[in-house]
Structure 1
Amino acid sequence: MEITKDIRYIGVNDHDIDLFEGQYDVSENGMAYNSYVILGDKIAVADSVDAGFVDEWLGNLETVLDGRTPDYLVVHHMEPDHSAGIAAFMERYPQAQIVASMGAFRMMVNYFGTDFPERKMVVKDGDVLDLGGHSLTFVGAPNVHWPEVLFSYESTDKVLFSADGFGKFGANDIEDPEGWACEARRYYFGIVGKFGKFVQAVLKKAANLDIQIICPLHGPVLSENLGYYLDTYNTWSSYQPEDEGITIAYASVYGHLKAAVEELASALEARGQKVSVFDLARDDMAEAVEDAFRYDRLVLASITYQGEIFPFVSTFIHTLAEHAYQNRTVALVEAGSWAPTAAKVMTKELEGMKDITLAQNKVTVLGSLNDASRAQIEVLADELSK
């Protein structure tokens, strides 16, 4: 695929993968591992692909080279889904140099038993690789989302190679009817979201560049309305809500708490609120995390279980904390048969999160719904709808 006259796409699509990074469900739409070639007087290949696709990737590269020989392999990110072809590339093209950060070379020793000492070129933020007619200026992007990461900017065609930044779930040969944001959001908050301050830092560097095209390592090449993508990443990485709305995440055993959640959701919708509801025992928790970050309000609803909260709710709260959840209003719904303590436990688990505002009202379901708990639902719905 031609991105510009001299920049070509040589990535691959994976339709066999079911879980990305061992936990994110991508079985429906697969995954893309992107790689690029910059054809200057000298030729640079940007990144490799996952281990199962190295032969396909090298075939794609040979087609684009059309008899020429690459001079450099640029490694922006050493995660194995982007670096598995390094050894095969270096063996096939013995005159080529490998270009990466010092941190990446340290990782190469761990993965391949060598850092190719006779052929390595260590680069850092601000360094330039001159290809003749094209050049790559490297942009340090540590902890977006691994510590060795570099972005690079090609100044002739104004292309930003953004490593895992601006990536999304899904193969590139399948059209996503929901557009970029849905699976990019789930990808960001699942994988990159903990590192917002580092994303903010690299966005400030990128603000000084004239970017016309963004080439990420996952998902489509972005070439239109780039302000939208940059603004969206700024919102996500600063932990600000993207939309007004309420996510309800719950776990119920015998259905009484589920009934309370359904009544609360109906009461909120009747008040004009956008609501998304997740059964944490059955629904994709990564999507629940995504919506918790997307919207400005969250309701946590759990039964009391062995004096604590239900394990799925505990895992969900822990995941939010691990990904630096903040700047949100959180309301609590609890249930129990004789001594409900779930709200107390959830409150304690929320204490370590930054700028969380607890709703003044809560709902307690003792046994099953009754007039008292239904009245609490109405009061909470009023508070969350203000």
Structure 2
Amino acid sequence: MPCTQKVTDDIVWVGGSDRRLALFENVFPLPDGISYNAYVILDEKTALMDTADAAIAERFLTNVEGALAGRKLDYLVVNHMEPDHCAMIGEIVRRYPEIKLVGNTKTFRFMEQFFDFPLQDRCITVKEGDTLTLGRHLLHFVMAPMVHWPEVMMSYDSTDKILFSADAFGTFGAFHGPIFADQINFQVRYVDEARRYYTNIVGKYGPQVQAVLKKATGLDIAILCPLHGPIWRKDLGWILDKYDKWSRYEPEEKGVVIAYGSMYGNTEAAAEELANLLAQKGVTALRLYDVSKTDSSYLISDLFRFSNFVLAAPTYNNGVYLPMNALLHDIAALNLQNRQYSLISNGSWAPISGKKMDEALNKLKGMQQVGETVQFRSSLKAEQLPQLKALAQAICDSLK
């Protein structure tokens, strides 16, 4: 039985949710699963906007068949060739052999890499500004390279002012019935997962996102239809503002993330004491994380959210404690910038983790150290508490 919902009178959501998947891209935890969105446009000609992951194959194919209600499928528009959205292309072609595939040059290059079916006479290659008429609906194609794959494009329906936005404006998290952002209090229920999705999947490509946002300002958009997560038909300015901030690497708010690595609890104790000092000074926007227990994707999300962060780590094999070193790698790989950072360094005989962390962060754009690095051997002593208090004061001053 089909499980579909109407986006408009003649556009049908035919996606589904996967609550069994533990890791997105086999990397990022999914405590609440993930949704895969696809859409059927019913006009003089019919069009399927992307497909879905193989995990929901039966549900997706049943939904497409139900939405078509006996009609043939004329077009498949492929906005993104990542397998969580393109896995069912081969089966769609098998079921609807007369279908035309719509994509750009890079789309079809990737399609040949993923699939073995012949592309001859099936493909309609489009570029920036090209259009496709379905009848009442007119689709305009907007190239969005590296948001976050090189072939990505978006499709704008100028008739109903809908932007099919590929992976942009998506979020982690399965649906619980409603599929529209205005039905589920998105700003409370989904915002953290939307940020974690953006920062870890797209975060590296801020300049490319900025380029697409500039294109979007020239479009009259009433509805945003992403490939993951809720559909936006109200308060579009809110999610667009978030993407603008994230892609400019601008903090959403003043606050402090303290991320520590600790083998036996001594570095943890210093981090806890710093959090206590900051709280006593009135800092309430605080997050304290153990890098050995918290998945990096959550840390990255909050590092994008807040203005300040503190890294506290012991020295390990003449370098930085391994889980902290992994976080530093992700910070650099995802292009975090324009933040204020502070450091706590520990080491029983050669405490150089602070120096190594500073060297890594200094390579990034717009990073500014706040306060002196607090360095101790093995455990923080009472006589070193003034240094930690001075660091807390410097952080508080920077927040002002």
Task: Please give the TM-score of this superposition, normalised by the length of structure 1.
Answer: 0.97
Structure 2 counterpart of 1:184: 194
- For the pair 1:149 / 2:152, whether they are aligned, the reply is yes
Q: Deviations over 1:212-264 (max 9, x none)?
A: 11000000111110000111100000111111101111100111110100010
CA distance in 2, matches of 1:65, 1:338: 70
Structure 2 counterpart of 1:250: 260
- For the pair 1:298 / 2:336, whether they are aligned, the reply is no
After the TM superposition, which of the residue ranges 355-364 and 136-145 deviates more from structure 2? 355-364
Q: Deviations over 1:285-305 (max 9, x none)?
A: 110111011101110110011
Task: Compute the displacement of 1:86 (Å).
Answer: 0.4
Aligned partner of residue 343 in structure 1, secondary structure: helix
- For the pair 1:241 / 2:245, whether they are aligned, the reply is no
Task: Compute the displacement of 1:13 (Å).
Answer: 0.7
Runs of 4+ in 1 over 3 A off after TM superposition: 174-178
Aligned partner of residue 118 in structure 1, secondary structure: coil
Task: Compute the displacement of 1:350 (Å).
Answer: 1.4
Q: Deviations over 1:185-220 (max 9, x none)?
A: 000010000000000000000001111110000001
- 2:233 paired residue among 203, 214, 223: 223
Structure 2 counterpart of 1:327: 338
- 1:82 paired residue among 68, 82, 85: 85
- 2:70 paired residue among 67, 72, 77: 67
Task: Compute the displacement of 1:367 (Å).
Answer: 2.1
Q: Any stretches of 5+ residues in structure 1 without a counterpart?
A: none
- For the pair 1:4 / 2:36, whether they are aligned, the reply is no
- 1:360 paired residue among 361, 364, 371: 371
Task: Compute the displacement of 1:38 (Å).
Answer: 1.0
Task: Compute the displacement of 1:314 (Å).
Answer: 0.5
- For the pair 1:104 / 2:100, whether they are aligned, the reply is no
Structure 2 counterpart of 1:267: 277
CA distance in 2, matches of 1:360, 1:383: 5
Task: Compute the displacement of 1:177 (Å).
Answer: 8.8
After the TM superposition, which of the residue ranges 141-150 and 110-119 deviates more from structure 2? 110-119
Task: Compute the displacement of 1:115 (Å).
Answer: 5.6
- 1:314 paired residue among 295, 302, 325: 325
- For the pair 1:173 / 2:183, whether they are aligned, the reply is no
Structure 1 counterpart of 2:181: none
- 1:280 paired residue among 275, 279, 291: 291
Task: Compute the displacement of 1:114 (Å).
Answer: 4.2
Amino acid at match of 1:14: D
Amino acid at match of 1:333: I
C-alpha RMSD over aligned residues: 1.2
| Partners of 2:339 and 2:368 within 8 A in 1 | yes
Structure 2 counterpart of 1:13: 17
After the TM superposition, which of the residue ranges 366-375 and 127-136 deviates more from structure 2? 366-375
Q: In percent, how many aligned pairs have the same letter?
A: 44
CA distance in 1, matches of 2:293, 2:331: 18
Task: Please give the TM-score of this superposition, normalised by the length of structure 2.
Answer: 0.94
Task: Compute the displacement of 1:173 (Å).
Answer: 2.1
Task: Compute the displacement of 1:179 (Å).
Answer: 2.2
- 1:91 paired residue among 91, 94, 98: 94
After the TM superposition, which of the residue ranges 49-58 and 236-245 deviates more from structure 2? 49-58
Amino acid at match of 2:281: R
| Partners of 1:136 and 1:155 within 8 A in 2 | yes
Structure 2 counterpart of 1:119: 122
Aligned CA distance change for structure 1 residues 34 and 371 (closer, same or farther; 3 Å): same
CA distance in 1, matches of 2:128, 2:82: 19
- For the pair 1:373 / 2:384, whether they are aligned, the reply is yes
Aligned partner of residue 308 in structure 2, secondary structure: strand
Q: Any stretches of 5+ residues in structure 2 without a counterpart?
A: 178-183
| Partners of 1:257 and 1:365 within 8 A in 2 | no
